[in-house]
Amino acid sequence: MHTFNPPIRTLMGPGPSEVHEKVYQALAKPTIGHLDPEFLRLMNEIQVMLRQVFQTKNQLTIPVSGTGSAGMETLFVNFIEPGDKAVVCVNGVFGTRMADVASRCGADVVEVKAEWGTAINPSDIDAALSQHPDAKLLAIVHAETSTGVWQPMDEVADLAKKHDVMLLLDAVTSLAGVPVELDKWGVDGCYSGTQKCLSCPPGLAPISVSERGLQLIQNRKTKPQSWYLDLSMVANYWTDGNRAYHHTAPINMNYALHEALRLVLEEGLETRFKRHRENSEYLWQELESLGLERFVDASIALPQLNVVKVPKGVDEAAIRARLLNEFGIEIGAGLGPMAGKIWRIGLMGESSHTTIIDRLIFALKQIL
């Protein structure tokens, strides 16, 4: 066996995204113990920065050891007890996955569906919650990675308050790319991933739990089905002044997240959101000049994940293969019923720069 040397790629798919050189440098720093005083100090700083990015004052705002899907499972296994009723919004792969995870936790799942490529209609949520007044939880995807839909949240948040249900939010692809305002929306549990708009390698899942969510966890009648993801224990490891060993944290991944968060806040959230928006507009100007069309209506389209209809008669897999093999550029295919019908072009974090967009457009012109 030889030393592995990965090829140089330009990452423009649905994740992972390009990684800043300073984040790579942080990842390569010497490993220290997970209870070393200096690492505990780093943990405190990560929590402070995560609260700023999530726009929340929630004390339980931490990175879970695992990818974004571990964040999803963490919140469901801690919020749901067998027999609880959960209303889950499904308009793509990740809403479908939430419904699956909730059912595995023993929940009675009520699905609110919308056509893939469209947003969930708040009136459908209102109807479902009215028909199921015993629902404990409302779960929804803020940025549906499989379709590029950006779910408007103000009306959804109002409905969660109106029906007095816990609000659980998937912000895997939205965090640090578009505004995620947990306190304004009254979100009780939110999870994300490091490899999207934070531009950190995959491996951690930032989560945030409200005070109400924390009380729910503390007052459970049954233990969560997962020991590893039991927040009543994990939180103790992340609580300053009362540290209790739970598991060995991925030390170097936390170095990387710390640096990625520092870079996000150094740029400034509003500046970062503006960059994603303006670069998306530039990308679409170029794509439309090639005759390519949007899959999602511009009013609900994510700027950091741009979804393109594959032109009729085009072998979409062959185009992606040529982009990768001849130009070193990765873009994403469609998932599920969208397979073969769309391309997903990520402009997330460090992948959101005009020089990278120009590289893609040059390649597409050669191929198409």
pLDDT single digits (tens) 289-311: 999 999 999 999 999 999 999 99
CA–CA distance, 349 with 20 (Å, rounded to integer): 9
Confidence class for position 341, pLDDT limits 50, 70, 90: very high
Q: Which among 135, 131, 76 has a CA at the least distance from the CA of 105?
A: 76
Cβ(188)–Cβ(61) under 8 Å? Answer: no
Cα-based distances in Å from 350 to 2, 118, 277, 326, 327: 30, 27, 14, 22, 18
pLDDT at 241: 78
SS3 at position 293: strand
Is the pLDDT reported for residue 35 higher than 90? yes
| CA distance from start to end of the chain | 39
Distance CA 68, CA 234 (A): 17
Measured CA to CA, the distance from residue 16 to residue 54 in angstroms comes to: 20
Would you say 213 and 166 are in contact if contact means Cβ atoms under 8 Å apart? yes
- State the pTM of this model: 0.97
Instruction: Name residues whose C-beta falls within 8 Å of residue 66's C-beta, 6 or more positions apart in sequence.
Output: 74, 203, 204, 205
Average pLDDT over residues 235-252: 91
Domain spans, the chain: 10-15+269-367, 21-265
**Sorting pLDDT into bands at 50, 70 and 90, what band is 240?**
confident
Average pLDDT over residues 56-81: 98
- State what percent of residues in the chain have pLDDT above 90: 98
Q: Which two tokens stand for residue 352?
A: 């959101």
- Sequence-distant (6+) residues with CB within 8 A of 255 are 26, 27, 29, 42
Q: What is the mean pLDDT of residues 37-60?
A: 97
Check pLDDT > 90 for residue 347: yes
Averaged confidence pLDDT in the chain: 97
Coil vs helix vs strand at 148 = coil
Query: What local confidence, expressed as pLDDT, does residue 206 receive?
Result: 98
Burial class from Cβ neighbours inside 10 Å (0-12, 13-18, 19+) for residue 286 reads middle
SS3 at position 183: helix
Q: What is the pLDDT of residue 271?
A: 98
pLDDT at 155 over 90: yes
The answer to whether 297 and 284 have CB atoms below 8 angstroms apart is no
**Does residue 54 have a pLDDT over 90?**
yes
Task: Report, as an integer, the average pLDDT of 121-143.
Answer: 98
Q: Is the pLDDT of residue 345 over 80?
A: yes
Looking at domain 10-15+269-367, its CATH architecture is Alpha-Beta Complex (3.90)
Q: In this structure, what are the phi and psi dihedrals at residue 283, rounded to the nearest 5 degrees?
A: -60, -45
Helix axes 251-267, 269-289, angle to 10 degrees: 80
pLDDT at residue 151 in the model: 98
Q: What CATH number does domain 21-265 carry, 3.40.640.10, 3.40.50.300, 3.30.70.1060, 1.10.3720.10?
A: 3.40.640.10
Q: What does the alpha-carbon distance between residue 186 and residue 58 come to, in Å, rounded to a whole number?
A: 11
292: Cβ contacts below 8 Å, ≥ 6 apart? 308, 309, 311
Looking at residue 90, its pLDDT comes to: 98
Q: Looking at this protein, which amino acid is placed at residue 67?
A: T
- Reported as a single tens digit per residue, the pLDDT across 86-111 is 999 999 999 999 999 999 999 999 99
Contact 16, 201 (CB under 8 A): yes
pLDDT of 44: 97
Higher-confidence residue of 241 and 307: namely: 307
List pLDDT tens digits, range 175-233: 999 999 999 999 999 999 999 999 999 999 999 999 999 999 999 999 999 999 999 99
Query: What local confidence, expressed as pLDDT, does residue 243 receive?
Result: 86
Q: Is the pLDDT of residue 242 over 90?
A: no
The mean pLDDT value for 122-131 works out to 98
